[in-house]
Structure 1
Amino acid sequence: MSPRAGINLSTILQASLSLIAEEGHDNLTLGKLAKALNIKTPSLYNHIANLADLRQHLAIYGLQQLYKVMAEAAIGQSGERAILSLSFAYVNFARQSPGLYEAISRVSNHDDPELKTHQEAVVQIVAKSMDAYSINKDTKIHLVRGLRSLLHGFTSIEQQQGFQLDLDANTSLTVMIQTFINGFSNIK
């Protein structure tokens, strides 16, 4: 069976993202996706193997988009400015594309070489932002993990409307990241 004209992996991913935005990541099914695309479910198998494969494609696409916004934010920046810019790019990505952000952490195959390539690209752009500091390679990776943990935690709390006090969340984010960066001086 040949693929239907106009249906390709890109249109499938976009329709999936629309469904995720409307119904949540856990409610994405191939049946709902086929209905949204006005095709029969078996037609999807011309482009994807199964739901897990679709989720994998969404994760890879999400990482590509996250890298893109982080790379744009880092242009011409170094040190604290670069780390702050990358951090805000990360959080704003999650704010603007919550379904795609969730897809990044809902990987079905962690051993996928393409996925690993895109994960590594995100790690490297953050590690490069730390080049202004005298930090060895292994410690940089620990710091990248720490920063990701801070940003993911912040994003998760914000998505659950956890910041109810009458204080600006962006100011809280700035204070958190600056405090994290200030800790670099304590690293031996």
Structure 2
Amino acid sequence: MKTLITSAVFCILFSTVSFAQLDKGYWLGNVVGNFGISDKGNFWFVNLNTQSLKLVDKNLAIGLGIDYNYYKSNVKGPQNTGAYRHTYLEIGPVVRKYLGNSRCKPYAELSTGIQMFNSQHLNSEFSYLDEQQYKFFLNPTIGVSWWFNENVSLNLSTGFKTTNFNNIMFDGFRIGVSFKIGKMSSKK
């Protein structure tokens, strides 16, 4: 019985370690989407984040990230009534370091770049305000990737990303999917 249990544990550990070898030369495509609804201020948002990462060394990926966000809020009150719409786009480089060689890989990520922000407001007196801003951002993130097989993983991450729109603060978790796309061809 001990031999059977020991063999089963060894097989499970071996199969877990043998998955998801993130070697130099492969590409990773990462897609994250989220949405939220709040009863305060009749508020909702949609977010789509995509990344294209190249493994430049074992478990180290560098690439480009694009993050699109849309927020909408309807406010009704004695002082201020109207609709607010905020759209922003972030684009910039991303560095991700995976830890370990198992199927479940923790990682740390850092992204930076430029954020383009557009704000629109239509109040009860039909006046329209349009504001555009450009600023730099720095987003540290930690997460874990669970690799189902050699090419597909599910990611759960959290990061420090606080955006202040009309005194509404956002911090949260992200769930996404990664795909290992292929290895670069070697020149002979």
Return the TM-score normalized by structure 1.
0.20
Q: Which has the higher helix share?
A: 1
